[in-house]
Amino acid sequence: MAGRERSRLSDAAIARLRPREREYTVWDKSVPGLGVRVRPTGGRSYVLLVEHRGRSKRVSLGPVSLKGIAEVRRECHGRRARAEPERKAKEPEAPARTAPLFREFVEGAWKEAHFASYKPSTQRSAGYALTGRLLPAFGSKPLDRITPVEVRRWFDAFSRTAPGNANNALKLLRQILNFAVASGCIDTNPTRGIQRNRRPALTRFLSREEIARLHEVLDEEAGRGELFRQQAEIVRLLLLTGCRRGEIVRLRWSEVQDGMLVLADSKTGPRKVPLNSQARRILGRQPRGESPFVFPSPLDPSRPRGMNLSLRYRVRRKAGIEDCRLHDLRHTHASHAVMNGVPVPVVSRLLGHANARMTLRYAHLGDREIEQAAERVGQAIGDILGL
Protein backbone atom coordinates (compact mmCIF):
# COMPACT_ATOMS: atom_id res chain seq x y z
CA MET A 1 0.00 0.00 0.00
CA ALA A 2 2.89 2.28 -0.76
CA GLY A 3 1.84 5.87 -1.50
CA ARG A 4 -1.49 5.54 0.36
CA GLU A 5 -2.51 7.28 3.56
CA ARG A 6 -1.75 5.29 6.69
CA SER A 7 -2.49 6.11 10.32
CA ARG A 8 -2.75 4.39 13.67
CA LEU A 9 -6.54 4.60 13.67
CA SER A 10 -8.51 5.41 16.80
CA ASP A 11 -12.18 6.24 17.29
CA ALA A 12 -11.27 9.92 17.80
CA ALA A 13 -9.08 10.02 14.70
CA ILE A 14 -11.82 8.40 12.61
CA ALA A 15 -14.34 11.00 13.85
CA ARG A 16 -12.02 13.78 12.62
CA LEU A 17 -11.86 12.47 9.05
CA ARG A 18 -13.53 14.96 6.66
CA PRO A 19 -14.99 14.36 3.17
CA ARG A 20 -13.09 15.45 0.07
CA GLU A 21 -14.02 15.95 -3.54
CA ARG A 22 -13.15 12.35 -4.24
CA GLU A 23 -13.51 9.19 -2.14
CA TYR A 24 -10.39 8.20 -0.21
CA THR A 25 -9.27 5.54 2.30
CA VAL A 26 -7.03 5.83 5.35
CA TRP A 27 -5.31 2.53 6.15
CA ASP A 28 -4.64 1.27 9.66
CA LYS A 29 -1.00 0.78 10.74
CA SER A 30 -1.93 -1.89 13.30
CA VAL A 31 -3.87 -4.35 11.11
CA PRO A 32 -2.63 -4.83 7.52
CA GLY A 33 -5.43 -4.38 5.01
CA LEU A 34 -7.85 -2.60 7.39
CA GLY A 35 -8.96 0.92 6.46
CA VAL A 36 -11.69 3.55 6.75
CA ARG A 37 -13.30 4.65 3.48
CA VAL A 38 -14.56 8.27 3.40
CA ARG A 39 -17.03 9.20 0.66
CA PRO A 40 -17.61 12.77 -0.68
CA THR A 41 -21.07 12.65 0.93
CA GLY A 42 -19.47 12.30 4.38
CA GLY A 43 -20.24 8.60 4.86
CA ARG A 44 -17.51 6.58 6.58
CA SER A 45 -17.20 2.79 6.65
CA TYR A 46 -14.67 0.10 7.49
CA VAL A 47 -13.10 -1.92 4.67
CA LEU A 48 -10.74 -4.90 4.65
CA LEU A 49 -8.53 -6.24 1.85
CA VAL A 50 -8.72 -10.04 1.60
CA GLU A 51 -7.22 -12.59 -0.81
CA HIS A 52 -9.74 -14.24 -3.13
CA ARG A 53 -8.69 -16.64 -5.89
CA GLY A 54 -5.21 -15.17 -5.97
CA ARG A 55 -6.38 -11.54 -6.13
CA SER A 56 -7.01 -8.81 -3.53
CA LYS A 57 -10.67 -8.04 -2.85
CA ARG A 58 -12.06 -5.13 -0.80
CA VAL A 59 -14.76 -6.22 1.69
CA SER A 60 -17.00 -3.75 3.56
CA LEU A 61 -17.24 -4.24 7.36
CA GLY A 62 -20.04 -1.74 7.88
CA PRO A 63 -20.35 1.95 8.85
CA VAL A 64 -18.12 3.37 11.58
CA SER A 65 -21.19 4.54 13.48
CA LEU A 66 -22.09 0.92 14.41
CA LYS A 67 -18.82 -0.25 15.99
CA GLY A 68 -15.53 1.03 17.27
CA ILE A 69 -12.07 0.37 15.87
CA ALA A 70 -11.12 -2.10 18.64
CA GLU A 71 -14.12 -4.34 17.78
CA VAL A 72 -13.29 -4.15 14.07
CA ARG A 73 -9.69 -5.13 14.69
CA ARG A 74 -10.83 -8.22 16.63
CA GLU A 75 -13.18 -9.08 13.78
CA CYS A 76 -10.32 -8.81 11.28
CA HIS A 77 -8.10 -11.10 13.35
CA GLY A 78 -10.95 -13.61 13.57
CA ARG A 79 -11.51 -13.56 9.81
CA ARG A 80 -7.81 -14.14 9.17
CA ALA A 81 -7.66 -16.99 11.72
CA ARG A 82 -10.59 -18.76 10.06
CA ALA A 83 -9.24 -18.22 6.55
CA GLU A 84 -5.67 -19.44 7.26
CA PRO A 85 -6.40 -23.20 7.57
CA GLU A 86 -8.56 -23.07 4.46
CA ARG A 87 -5.84 -21.24 2.51
CA LYS A 88 -3.19 -23.70 3.59
CA ALA A 89 -5.42 -26.64 2.67
CA LYS A 90 -5.85 -25.27 -0.85
CA GLU A 91 -2.19 -24.52 -1.36
CA PRO A 92 -0.16 -27.50 -2.59
CA GLU A 93 2.51 -28.43 -0.06
CA ALA A 94 6.04 -27.87 -1.20
CA PRO A 95 7.91 -31.14 -1.41
CA ALA A 96 10.16 -31.67 1.59
CA ARG A 97 13.80 -31.15 0.75
CA THR A 98 15.70 -34.42 1.04
CA ALA A 99 19.38 -33.89 1.77
CA PRO A 100 21.71 -36.49 0.22
CA LEU A 101 23.99 -38.64 2.31
CA PHE A 102 27.43 -37.16 2.92
CA ARG A 103 28.99 -40.05 0.97
CA GLU A 104 26.68 -39.55 -2.01
CA PHE A 105 27.31 -35.81 -2.09
CA VAL A 106 31.09 -36.23 -1.93
CA GLU A 107 31.19 -38.94 -4.63
CA GLY A 108 28.82 -37.00 -6.86
CA ALA A 109 28.36 -33.22 -6.91
CA TRP A 110 31.42 -32.26 -4.85
CA LYS A 111 33.94 -34.43 -6.72
CA GLU A 112 32.59 -33.31 -10.06
CA ALA A 113 32.88 -29.64 -9.10
CA HIS A 114 36.16 -29.63 -7.15
CA PHE A 115 38.22 -32.82 -7.00
CA ALA A 116 39.27 -32.90 -10.65
CA SER A 117 40.77 -29.40 -10.39
CA TYR A 118 43.11 -30.38 -7.52
CA LYS A 119 46.80 -31.04 -8.13
CA PRO A 120 47.71 -34.76 -7.92
CA SER A 121 49.34 -34.29 -4.50
CA THR A 122 46.24 -32.49 -3.20
CA GLN A 123 44.03 -35.27 -4.57
CA ARG A 124 46.10 -37.82 -2.68
CA SER A 125 45.93 -35.95 0.63
CA ALA A 126 42.19 -35.30 0.18
CA GLY A 127 41.67 -38.98 -0.62
CA TYR A 128 43.48 -40.03 2.56
CA ALA A 129 41.38 -37.65 4.67
CA LEU A 130 38.14 -38.82 3.06
CA THR A 131 38.70 -42.58 3.22
CA GLY A 132 40.50 -42.55 6.56
CA ARG A 133 38.47 -40.00 8.54
CA LEU A 134 35.55 -38.17 6.96
CA LEU A 135 33.64 -40.99 5.28
CA PRO A 136 33.86 -43.34 8.30
CA ALA A 137 32.60 -40.54 10.57
CA PHE A 138 29.94 -38.88 8.39
CA GLY A 139 29.48 -40.96 5.23
CA SER A 140 26.17 -42.60 6.15
CA LYS A 141 24.56 -39.41 7.49
CA PRO A 142 22.31 -37.06 5.51
CA LEU A 143 23.99 -33.69 5.15
CA ASP A 144 21.32 -31.93 7.21
CA ARG A 145 21.78 -34.38 10.09
CA ILE A 146 25.45 -33.52 10.64
CA THR A 147 25.42 -31.28 13.72
CA PRO A 148 28.00 -28.84 15.12
CA VAL A 149 28.20 -30.91 18.32
CA GLU A 150 28.99 -34.04 16.35
CA VAL A 151 31.67 -32.29 14.28
CA ARG A 152 33.23 -30.81 17.42
CA ARG A 153 33.33 -34.22 19.13
CA TRP A 154 34.95 -35.80 16.05
CA PHE A 155 37.53 -33.00 15.70
CA ASP A 156 38.51 -33.04 19.38
CA ALA A 157 39.02 -36.82 19.36
CA PHE A 158 41.14 -36.65 16.19
CA SER A 159 43.15 -33.72 17.54
CA ARG A 160 44.28 -35.65 20.61
CA THR A 161 46.45 -37.93 18.48
CA ALA A 162 47.16 -35.93 15.30
CA PRO A 163 46.40 -32.20 15.60
CA GLY A 164 47.94 -31.31 12.25
CA ASN A 165 46.06 -34.01 10.35
CA ALA A 166 42.90 -33.02 12.21
CA ASN A 167 43.34 -29.45 10.93
CA ASN A 168 43.69 -30.68 7.35
CA ALA A 169 40.63 -32.93 7.61
CA LEU A 170 38.57 -30.12 9.17
CA LYS A 171 39.59 -27.78 6.35
CA LEU A 172 38.41 -30.32 3.76
CA LEU A 173 35.15 -31.00 5.64
CA ARG A 174 34.46 -27.26 5.85
CA GLN A 175 35.05 -26.85 2.12
CA ILE A 176 32.71 -29.74 1.28
CA LEU A 177 29.93 -28.42 3.53
CA ASN A 178 30.35 -24.87 2.23
CA PHE A 179 29.69 -26.29 -1.23
CA ALA A 180 26.64 -28.11 0.20
CA VAL A 181 25.32 -24.76 1.46
CA ALA A 182 25.94 -23.13 -1.92
CA SER A 183 24.18 -26.07 -3.60
CA GLY A 184 21.09 -25.58 -1.43
CA CYS A 185 21.43 -28.96 0.33
CA ILE A 186 21.79 -27.42 3.81
CA ASP A 187 21.18 -23.98 5.27
CA THR A 188 24.27 -23.57 7.47
CA ASN A 189 27.69 -25.15 7.74
CA PRO A 190 28.02 -27.16 11.00
CA THR A 191 31.80 -26.57 11.07
CA ARG A 192 31.25 -22.85 11.59
CA GLY A 193 32.97 -21.58 14.73
CA ILE A 194 35.28 -24.59 15.17
CA GLN A 195 38.84 -23.28 15.43
CA ARG A 196 41.80 -25.15 13.98
CA ASN A 197 44.50 -26.37 16.36
CA ARG A 198 47.26 -23.83 16.77
CA ARG A 199 50.46 -24.87 15.05
CA PRO A 200 53.49 -25.11 17.33
CA ALA A 201 56.33 -22.72 16.61
CA LEU A 202 58.88 -24.21 14.21
CA THR A 203 61.88 -24.07 16.52
CA ARG A 204 63.36 -27.55 15.98
CA PHE A 205 66.30 -28.17 13.71
CA LEU A 206 69.32 -30.39 14.05
CA SER A 207 72.64 -29.00 15.25
CA ARG A 208 75.93 -30.04 13.66
CA GLU A 209 76.46 -32.62 16.42
CA GLU A 210 72.96 -34.06 15.95
CA ILE A 211 73.44 -34.30 12.19
CA ALA A 212 76.69 -36.21 12.77
CA ARG A 213 74.95 -38.65 15.16
CA LEU A 214 72.10 -39.15 12.68
CA HIS A 215 74.63 -39.88 9.93
CA GLU A 216 76.28 -42.60 12.03
CA VAL A 217 72.94 -44.24 12.86
CA LEU A 218 71.88 -44.17 9.19
CA ASP A 219 75.12 -45.94 8.25
CA GLU A 220 74.35 -48.64 10.80
CA GLU A 221 70.80 -49.08 9.52
CA ALA A 222 71.89 -49.15 5.86
CA GLY A 223 74.04 -52.22 6.63
CA ARG A 224 70.96 -54.22 7.66
CA GLY A 225 69.60 -54.72 4.15
CA GLU A 226 68.09 -53.08 1.07
CA LEU A 227 64.95 -51.86 2.86
CA PHE A 228 66.98 -49.96 5.45
CA ARG A 229 69.53 -48.74 2.90
CA GLN A 230 66.86 -47.10 0.75
CA GLN A 231 65.18 -45.43 3.71
CA ALA A 232 68.53 -44.14 4.98
CA GLU A 233 69.18 -42.63 1.53
CA ILE A 234 65.75 -40.95 1.56
CA VAL A 235 66.51 -39.33 4.93
CA ARG A 236 69.90 -38.07 3.68
CA LEU A 237 68.30 -36.59 0.55
CA LEU A 238 65.67 -34.81 2.64
CA LEU A 239 68.45 -33.25 4.67
CA LEU A 240 70.61 -32.32 1.66
CA THR A 241 67.86 -30.90 -0.59
CA GLY A 242 65.33 -29.40 1.84
CA CYS A 243 62.59 -31.13 -0.15
CA ARG A 244 59.30 -32.21 1.34
CA ARG A 245 58.92 -35.90 2.18
CA GLY A 246 56.54 -36.67 -0.69
CA GLU A 247 58.83 -34.99 -3.21
CA ILE A 248 61.63 -37.48 -2.42
CA VAL A 249 59.59 -40.59 -1.57
CA ARG A 250 57.67 -40.30 -4.87
CA LEU A 251 60.63 -39.01 -6.89
CA ARG A 252 60.71 -40.35 -10.47
CA TRP A 253 63.79 -40.89 -12.58
CA SER A 254 62.24 -38.65 -15.22
CA GLU A 255 62.44 -35.77 -12.70
CA VAL A 256 66.23 -36.15 -12.24
CA GLN A 257 67.65 -33.96 -15.03
CA ASP A 258 71.02 -32.23 -15.58
CA GLY A 259 72.06 -31.89 -11.95
CA MET A 260 68.67 -30.87 -10.63
CA LEU A 261 65.25 -32.18 -9.72
CA VAL A 262 62.54 -31.01 -12.09
CA LEU A 263 59.48 -31.73 -9.93
CA ALA A 264 56.25 -32.00 -11.86
CA ASP A 265 54.08 -31.84 -8.74
CA SER A 266 54.96 -30.02 -5.54
CA LYS A 267 52.93 -28.16 -2.94
CA THR A 268 53.41 -24.89 -4.83
CA GLY A 269 53.27 -26.42 -8.31
CA PRO A 270 56.09 -27.51 -10.67
CA ARG A 271 59.55 -26.37 -9.52
CA LYS A 272 63.25 -27.04 -9.96
CA VAL A 273 65.60 -28.02 -7.12
CA PRO A 274 69.35 -27.62 -7.75
CA LEU A 275 71.31 -30.64 -6.50
CA ASN A 276 74.56 -30.25 -4.58
CA SER A 277 77.34 -32.75 -5.28
CA GLN A 278 76.50 -34.80 -2.17
CA ALA A 279 72.87 -35.25 -3.28
CA ARG A 280 74.00 -36.13 -6.82
CA ARG A 281 76.26 -38.87 -5.42
CA ILE A 282 73.35 -40.39 -3.47
CA LEU A 283 71.13 -40.42 -6.57
CA GLY A 284 73.98 -41.78 -8.71
CA ARG A 285 74.32 -44.88 -6.56
CA GLN A 286 70.66 -45.86 -6.69
CA PRO A 287 70.02 -48.94 -8.88
CA ARG A 288 67.94 -48.26 -11.98
CA GLY A 289 65.44 -50.92 -12.92
CA GLU A 290 62.15 -50.93 -14.76
CA SER A 291 60.38 -48.91 -12.06
CA PRO A 292 59.74 -45.23 -12.82
CA PHE A 293 60.52 -44.40 -9.18
CA VAL A 294 63.95 -43.77 -7.69
CA PHE A 295 62.85 -45.58 -4.52
CA PRO A 296 60.33 -48.23 -5.68
CA SER A 297 58.28 -50.51 -3.47
CA PRO A 298 59.82 -54.01 -3.26
CA LEU A 299 56.30 -55.52 -3.45
CA ASP A 300 55.04 -53.44 -6.39
CA PRO A 301 57.73 -51.58 -8.40
CA SER A 302 55.02 -49.52 -10.09
CA ARG A 303 54.49 -47.76 -6.75
CA PRO A 304 56.90 -45.73 -4.59
CA ARG A 305 58.26 -47.01 -1.30
CA GLY A 306 56.66 -45.82 1.93
CA MET A 307 58.49 -44.68 5.05
CA ASN A 308 58.71 -47.36 7.77
CA LEU A 309 57.47 -45.91 11.07
CA SER A 310 59.30 -48.34 13.35
CA LEU A 311 62.55 -47.58 11.53
CA ARG A 312 62.03 -43.85 11.95
CA TYR A 313 61.36 -44.21 15.67
CA ARG A 314 64.42 -46.46 16.14
CA VAL A 315 66.72 -44.10 14.23
CA ARG A 316 65.56 -41.06 16.23
CA ARG A 317 65.98 -42.91 19.52
CA LYS A 318 69.48 -44.17 18.71
CA ALA A 319 70.54 -40.71 17.47
CA GLY A 320 69.09 -38.98 20.54
CA ILE A 321 66.69 -36.84 18.49
CA GLU A 322 63.32 -38.30 19.56
CA ASP A 323 61.58 -34.92 19.13
CA CYS A 324 62.70 -34.52 15.50
CA ARG A 325 60.16 -35.04 12.71
CA LEU A 326 60.93 -35.77 9.08
CA HIS A 327 59.77 -32.25 8.21
CA ASP A 328 62.37 -30.88 10.64
CA LEU A 329 65.03 -32.03 8.16
CA ARG A 330 63.67 -29.41 5.76
CA HIS A 331 63.79 -26.93 8.63
CA THR A 332 67.39 -27.98 9.30
CA HIS A 333 68.37 -27.43 5.66
CA ALA A 334 66.92 -23.90 5.70
CA SER A 335 68.38 -22.91 9.07
CA HIS A 336 71.89 -24.08 8.23
CA ALA A 337 71.68 -22.25 4.91
CA VAL A 338 70.92 -18.98 6.73
CA MET A 339 73.64 -19.62 9.32
CA ASN A 340 76.11 -20.04 6.47
CA GLY A 341 75.22 -16.66 5.01
CA VAL A 342 72.70 -17.61 2.33
CA PRO A 343 70.21 -14.69 1.96
CA VAL A 344 66.60 -15.42 2.93
CA PRO A 345 65.23 -14.76 -0.62
CA VAL A 346 67.66 -17.36 -1.99
CA VAL A 347 66.64 -19.87 0.71
CA SER A 348 63.05 -19.16 -0.25
CA ARG A 349 63.82 -20.18 -3.84
CA LEU A 350 65.62 -23.32 -2.67
CA LEU A 351 62.63 -24.41 -0.61
CA GLY A 352 60.07 -23.54 -3.28
CA HIS A 353 58.17 -21.10 -1.08
CA ALA A 354 55.57 -18.82 -2.64
CA ASN A 355 57.08 -15.82 -0.82
CA ALA A 356 60.02 -15.04 1.47
CA ARG A 357 57.75 -14.47 4.49
CA MET A 358 57.13 -18.21 4.66
CA THR A 359 60.88 -18.80 4.79
CA LEU A 360 61.25 -16.55 7.84
CA ARG A 361 59.53 -19.27 9.90
CA TYR A 362 62.56 -21.46 9.25
CA ALA A 363 65.34 -18.87 9.17
CA HIS A 364 66.19 -18.48 12.85
CA LEU A 365 68.92 -19.76 15.12
CA GLY A 366 68.43 -22.37 17.81
CA ASP A 367 69.18 -21.81 21.49
CA ARG A 368 72.43 -23.77 21.33
CA GLU A 369 73.77 -21.64 18.45
CA ILE A 370 72.75 -18.45 20.28
CA GLU A 371 74.52 -19.60 23.45
CA GLN A 372 77.64 -20.45 21.49
CA ALA A 373 77.59 -17.06 19.76
CA ALA A 374 77.19 -15.28 23.11
CA GLU A 375 80.16 -17.24 24.47
CA ARG A 376 82.34 -16.26 21.49
CA VAL A 377 81.42 -12.58 21.83
CA GLY A 378 82.07 -12.69 25.58
CA GLN A 379 85.46 -14.32 25.03
CA ALA A 380 86.48 -11.69 22.46
CA ILE A 381 85.45 -8.75 24.63
CA GLY A 382 86.88 -10.43 27.73
CA ASP A 383 90.27 -10.70 26.05
CA ILE A 384 90.20 -6.95 25.39
CA LEU A 385 89.22 -6.21 28.98
CA GLY A 386 91.81 -8.63 30.35
CA LEU A 387 89.16 -10.77 32.07
Mean pLDDT computed over 189-218: 84
Alpha carbon distance 343, 290 (integer Å): 41
Q: Is 180 buried (19+), middle (13-18) or exposed (0-12) by CB count in 10 A?
A: buried
| pLDDT score of 384 | 57
Mean pLDDT computed over 35-63: 84
What are 353-362's pLDDT values in tens digits? 666 565 665 5
Terminal Cα-to-Cα distance of the chain (whole angstroms): 95
- Give the mean pLDDT of the chain: 81
By percentage, how much of the chain surpasses pLDDT 90? 23
pLDDT band with cut points at 50, 70 and 90 for residue 385: low
Mean pLDDT computed over 235-248: 88
Alpha carbon distance 100, 57 (integer Å): 43
Mean pLDDT computed over 97-118: 86
Cite the DSSP H helix spans in the chain. Answer: 11-15, 69-90, 102-105, 111-113, 120-129, 135-138, 148-159, 163-182, 208-222, 226-241, 245-249, 277-284, 309-319, 327-339, 344-351, 356-359, 367-385
What are 57-100's pLDDT values in tens digits? 788 888 888 888 888 888 887 777 766 665 555 555 545 557 89
Residue type, 75: E
| pLDDT score of 1 | 42
The DSSP letter of residue 142 is B
Q: Which domains does the chain have, with CATH numbers?
A: 6-90 (3.30.160.390), 102-182 (1.10.150), 208-372 (1.10.443.10)
Alpha carbon distance 5, 25 (integer Å): 7
Would residue 366 be called left, alpha or beta, if left means φ above 0 and alpha means ψ between -120 and 50 degrees?
beta
Mean pLDDT computed over 116-137: 87
pTM of the model: 0.52
Q: What share of the chain is helix, strand, coil (3-state, %, to 5)?
A: 50, 10, 35
